[in-house]
A and B are shown apart, each in its own frame.
Chain A
Amino acid sequence: MDATVFLQQLVNGLSIGLVYALVAIGFTLIFGVLNVVNFAHGEVFTVGAFGGLLVITMLAPPLWVVLLLVLLIGGFSGFALERLAFRPFRRFADEASLKSKAMREATLLSSLAVSIIVRELLELKFSGEMQTIPQSFLLQSPIALGPVLITDGNLVIFGSSALMLGALQYILFRTRVGMAIRAVSNNVLGAQFVGIDTNRTIIATFVVGSLMGGIAGIMVGLYQGAIFPHMGFEPGIKAFVAMVMGGLSSPGGAVICALIIGVSETFATQFVSDGWKALVSYGFLLLTLWFFPSGIFATRKEKM
Chain B
Amino acid sequence: MNGLSKLLSLAALAWGFAAPALAQTPITIGYQLPLTGTQSQYGEVFRNSAVMQLEKLNAAGGVGGRKVEILFEDSKSDPKEAVAIARKFVDDKRIIAVLGDFASGPSMAAGEVYGKEGMAQLSQTASHPDFLKVSNWQFRNITTQAQEGPFNARWMHGAGIKTVAVIGLQNDWGLSATGEFAKEFEKLGGKVVATELFNPGTRDFRAILTKVSQRKPEAVYLAMFYEEGALMLQQARQLSLAARIHSASPFYAPKLVELAGPAANGVFISSTFVAESTAPNVKAFVEEYKKRYGSEPNQFAAQAFDAVGIMFEAIKRAGPNATRAQMRDALAATADYPGVTGTTTFDKQSREPAKVLSRMEIQAGKFVVLR
**A225 and B230 form a contact (CB under 8 A):** yes
Residues of B within 8 A of A149 (CB): 238-240
B51: min CB distance to chain A, Å: 15
Distance, CA A235 to CA B224, complexed state (A): 22
* Contact pattern, A 1-28, Cβ under 8 Å of B = 1, otherwise 0: 1000100110011011001000000000
Closest residue of chain B to A8, judged by CB? B210
The residue that A225 contacts in the complex, of B196, B208, B234, with Cβ under 8 A, is: B234
Q: Mask for A208-238, Cβ within 8 A of B = 1, else 0?
A: 0000000000000000111010110110000
Interface mask (A255-275 → B, CB under 8 Å = 1, otherwise 0): 000000000011001100111
Q: Report the bound CA distance from A16 to B260 in whole Å.
A: 20
Q: Which of B37, B211, B262 contacts A128 (CB 8 A)?
A: B37
Whether a CB of chain B sits under 8 angstroms from the CB of A84 is no
CB atoms of A142 and B207 under 8 A apart: no
- Distance in angstroms between the alpha carbons of A297 and B261 in the assembled complex: 43
The answer to whether A274 touches B262, judged by C-beta atoms less than 8 angstroms apart, is: no
Number of residues from B at the complex interface, CB < 8 A: 39
A275 close to B170 (CB less than 8 A): yes
When the two chains form their complex, are residues A269 and B207 in contact, meaning their CB atoms are under 8 A apart? yes
Q: Which B253-273 residues have a C-beta within 8 angstroms of A? A: 255, 258-262
Contact yes or no, B198 A129, CB < 8 A: no
Complex: A142 Cα to B262 Cα, angstroms: 14
Please tell me if the beta carbons of B211 and A269 are within 8 angstroms of each other in the complex: yes
* Secondary structure class of chain B's binding surface, majority of residues: helix
Contact between chains at A138 and B210 (CB < 8 Å):
no
On whether the beta carbons of A132 and B40 are closer than 8 Å, the reply is no
Indicate if B206 sits at the interface (CB-CB under 8 A): yes
**B40 interface neighbour in A1, A128, A274, Cβ under 8 Å:** A128
Q: Contact at A140–B2, with CB atoms within 8 Å?
A: no
Cα distance A123–B38 in the bound complex, in angstroms? 10
Shortest C-beta distance, A280 to chain B (Å), equals: 12
Are the CB atoms of A270 and B240 closer together than 8 Å?
Answer: no
Q: What is the chain A residue whose CB lies nearest that of B239? A: A149
| CB closest residue in chain B, given A13 | B207
Complexed CA–CA distance, A90 and B214 (Å): 56
Contact (Cβ within 8 A) B231 A128: no
Interface residues on A, range: 35 or more
Report the minimal beta-carbon distance from A115 to chain B, rounded to whole angstroms.
14
Please determine whether A5 and B234 come into contact, CB atoms closer than 8 angstroms.
no
Q: Tell me whether A140 and B238 are in contact (CB under 8 A).
A: yes
Q: Is the CB of A120 within 8 A of B207?
A: no
Q: How far is the CA of A149 from the CA of B210 in the complex (A)?
A: 10
Residue-wise interface mask of B (1-38) relative to A, using a CB-CB cutoff of 8 A (1 in contact, 0 not)? 11000000000000000000000000000000000111
Contact digits for A106-140, partner B, Cβ 8 Å, 1 yes 0 no: 00000000000000100110011110110100101
Distance A109 CA – B202 CA, assembled complex (angstroms) = 27
> 8 Å CB contacts to B: which residues of A179-221?
none
Q: Is the CB of B207 within 8 A of A12?
A: yes
Distance, CA A289 to CA B328, complexed state (A): 55
Residues of A near B231 (CB, < 8 A) are: 224-226
Minimum CB–CB distance from B304 to chain A (whole Å) comes to 16
Contact pick for A9, options B39, B207, B261, CB 8 Å: B207
Interface: B313 (CB within 8 A): no
Contacts A12-B206, A142-B240; A128 near B259 (Cβ below 8 A): no
B210→A5 contact, CB < 8 A: yes
User: Which chain A residues border B198 with CB–CB below 8 Å?
Assistant: 274-275
CB distance from A83 to the nearest CB of B (A): 22
Q: Does B172 contact A (CB under 8 A)?
A: no
On chain B, the residues within 8 Å of A288 by CB distance are none
Given contacts A12-B207, A278-B199, contact A129 B262 (CB under 8 A): no
Given contacts A9-B207, A135-B261, contact A274 B196 (CB under 8 A): yes
Q: Is the CB of B238 within 8 A of A151?
A: yes
Q: Known interface pairs A129-B227, A234-B203. Does A142 touch B41 (Cβ–Cβ under 8 Å)?
A: no
B201 within 8 A of A: yes
Q: Does B354 contact A (CB under 8 A)?
A: no
- A249, B207: Cα distance in complex, Å: 30
Chain B contacts for A8, CB-based, 8 A: 210, 239
- Whether the Cβ atoms of B210 and A129 lie closer than 8 Å is no
| B135 to A: closest C-beta gap in Å | 30
Contact indicator B207/A274 (Cβ below 8 Å): yes
Q: Mark A50-87, 1 if CB is under 8 A from B, else 0.
A: 00000000000000000000000000000000000000
Given A12-B210, A120-B1, answer yes or no on A273-B204 (Cβ-Cβ < 8 Å): no
Closest 10 CB pairs of A and B: A129-B41, A128-B40, A269-B207, A12-B206, A274-B198, A266-B207, A135-B261, A132-B258, A128-B41, A275-B170
User: B residues engaging A (CB < 8 A)?
Assistant: 1-2, 36-41, 44, 170, 196-199, 201-204, 206-208, 210-211, 214, 227, 230-231, 234-235, 237-240, 255, 258-262
14 sampled A-B residue pairs with Cβ under 8 A: A8-B239, A9-B207, A12-B210, A15-B204, A15-B206, A120-B1, A128-B40, A140-B238, A141-B238, A234-B203, A269-B196, A269-B208, A270-B207, A274-B197
